[in-house]
Structure 1
């Protein structure tokens, strides 16, 4: 028997792949007993392909990260070429991939962000941001917001406002993290109404800064991601920038999800012409072909470390195989005009989703920018009561959005469902026909929620 025949005889069936995965691996953010992962064997364009060959429209870019779509040949070639040329160099060395990517980043990032620390995830990039902010300011406290997610390591989960933090408390709530209200004009947590509120949620942060000692930074997702695609009013970010400046506090923008064209700008902060002191990103930087994160800092922070010890690092910082595909990804986004495409498709998606809202009493709100949208599901439009809460999720209760997502999956469309809303964020190469298909599939199965909703 030849080696090829031996390999073929030992090939795993699709069911064996699923069974072995369940047996040996943890499923994230879930009970393990009922985990039955689908075997993804291939992917191309805007589609995932399972072990039986069935194709699924990837309507949320998996975890809002596959911005360029799947199987882009230029990115694949960059990975292969770098692996053949130089598979690893420790962070203390300079590499061509590192220099090329850094030069591109200096052109694409908001002006003034000129010094970079590379990581292998968004959560690690946030950890770097926290340490840099504390080293630079000599202060310790980070103000984050509720309805936020910044990662799962001990520092980033401590700065996460959503209930995924709860399992780590009290020990997991790191020292010096305090929480402010999120920006949510649909359902304001401090019960104000825009625009008459004069952006009271930003004023609240200023009140916190002035009544807390030792505040190093304010940490925000420019547009909240997993927790509902919460888009701030246009006045919010400039006002927050002014508050930070007037109080000697750094502003950290977590653009792990909103970066790389997702919202119709290279970075979401560009919508408001606001430059943060530190910008954190990941996901779309390589369209998730390889794991890469970035912590970018301002010139003033970079200058500080000329004569102050930079006390941070890890083995895989600036790993060349992670950097080379990022260069290719940026060039491909430029070649395909994907930032502009996300911006141009936004009105089309918005109109389609508003039509959906007019048909279904279970939709309370739709909101977003570019190709980054949420469909907020409510039991009662008047009270804005959601179908489910995080407590339902951790108790194992069947969630309405999960029921709908399962029906959509059976019809060949994957969508991210979280507690009581959907995140719609297809790859930026998506066509109008594919948008139509995804929304039509959601439309078809929203009857599940409509039947459980209160009459209008």
Structure 2
């Protein structure tokens, strides 16, 4: 019988032989997690933690959903793998189900393994379809970690890999951020100047294949576009023969109170990419969906893309189960109801704490942004400090939260609050009581 590893051995072996992503190895001390149930996960010492960010904003159904687990077991027993040039019942059933929940008009699908893969496919499709090269992204964005997707990422995570992995033909535009506009305008007086600037870029860059946008920016701050932004962007893309790619990797699957965030604005993208919540992250699955005009193009033109794990059977059955569970539990509608409760509680925290500059969100997708000067909106930390491995103010507070039995995703100067869609109001109260206490760390550092 193999030797049973102690929890400390598990941690030590992991640190010695694995990479801690987006961090220095010496700073990594991974928590040994052994189980999860509902909105809670448990470490090897038996301590339970409320997951207030659904891990990487992906465990939308919470832990231990039996319908999804059974679908994995059933598919593994029936057919664990077949190459993507064949098909399976799960592939056809999932395709039919997607037509019910995706924005109308997206009718052709490419199944892959992650959001990164989905965006890589989208870039290739946009270029093959249009015959053009350039993709316009936004500075506060994240689209993945492989060469093309990190090259199209606007935030500083791309800096260490440049220039070798810089994606040729990607240019960046200002983000849509009405709290702290990079163009120094104010909505609605600005007339949505950030969209106008994108049109200026399209007309002066030339050779633009697509505009790439996280419909609601995720890790970089849950940035909610103002009313009319996406309608205006859709018109600009149409008038200039440019495709609109909606990255819904994080914002999709009920997170914002709609099946997909773009549904809030009634706009159909040409290409939609998603992952994470499609299986509640129980198995790795990504999806690229395209409009009928793009689908028709590839009837007579080579679709020059694919890989070994495309439409992997083990990933498709769980996606079917996840969507059906979301429908059974009315989780999209529930995100609206419970999200309103969460939003009210967060606004109350803002009124109480001088370190909170902004609270914003949709459904069960929120950010709490910290500042050391509310009037000037001055952040506590800057990107270079993070890249240098400095412990940021939000990291200090997140450390206190985990010690209190609550996991909260911290990034730069904000927290991403995105619990599983099954979270209860009592669990929200439990987490926010702790956050209220630990925000004293930031309050003490506020200027003046």
**Which range, TM-score by smaller chain?**
over 0.9
Structure 2 match to 1:405: 398
Query: Which residue, 304, 318, 329 being the options, matches 2:322?
Result: 329
Counterpart CA distance in 2 for 1:38 and 1:171 is: 34
Q: Does 1:245 align with 2:243?
A: no
Offset at residue 138 of structure 1 (A): 0.3
Counterpart CA distance in 1 for 2:21 and 2:436 is: 28
Structure 1 match to 2:354: 361
What secondary structure sits across from 1:433 in the alignment? helix
Query: Which residue, 37, 44, 49 being the options, matches 1:51?
Result: 44
Offset at residue 395 of structure 1 (A): 1.3
Query: Which residue, 185, 190, 194 being the options, matches 1:192?
Result: 185
Counterpart CA distance in 1 for 2:27 and 2:93 is: 46
Q: Does 1:230 align with 2:188?
A: no
Counterpart CA distance in 2 for 1:448 and 1:338 is: 35
Structure 1 match to 2:381: 388
Structure 2 match to 1:151: 144
Aligned ranges 1:409-428 → 2 under 5 Å? 409-428=402-421
User: Size of the alignment, in residue pairs?
Assistant: 448
Structure 2 match to 1:74: 67
Counterpart CA distance in 2 for 1:346 and 1:186 is: 20
Structure 1 match to 2:25: 32
Q: Does 1:111 align with 2:104?
A: yes
Query: Which residue, 214, 217, 232 being the options, matches 2:210?
Result: 217
TM-score (norm 2): 0.99
> Runs ≥4 in structure 1, deviation > 2 angstroms?
none
Q: Does 1:434 align with 2:424?
A: no
What secondary structure sits across from 1:306 in the alignment? helix
Counterpart CA distance in 2 for 1:441 and 1:290 is: 32
Deviations 1:93-150 (A, max 9, x none): 0100100000000111000000000110000000000000000000010000010000
Q: Does 1:172 align with 2:172?
A: no
Structure 2 residue runs without a partner (length 5+): none
TM-score (norm 1): 0.98
**What is the RMSD of the two structures over their aligned residues, measured on CA atoms?**
0.6
What secondary structure sits across from 1:144 in the alignment? strand
Counterpart CA distance in 1 for 2:18 and 2:440 is: 35
Counterpart CA distance in 2 for 1:209 and 1:36 is: 45
Q: Does 1:266 align with 2:284?
A: no
Offset at residue 74 of structure 1 (A): 0.3
Structure 2 match to 1:125: 118
Q: Does 1:372 align with 2:365?
A: yes
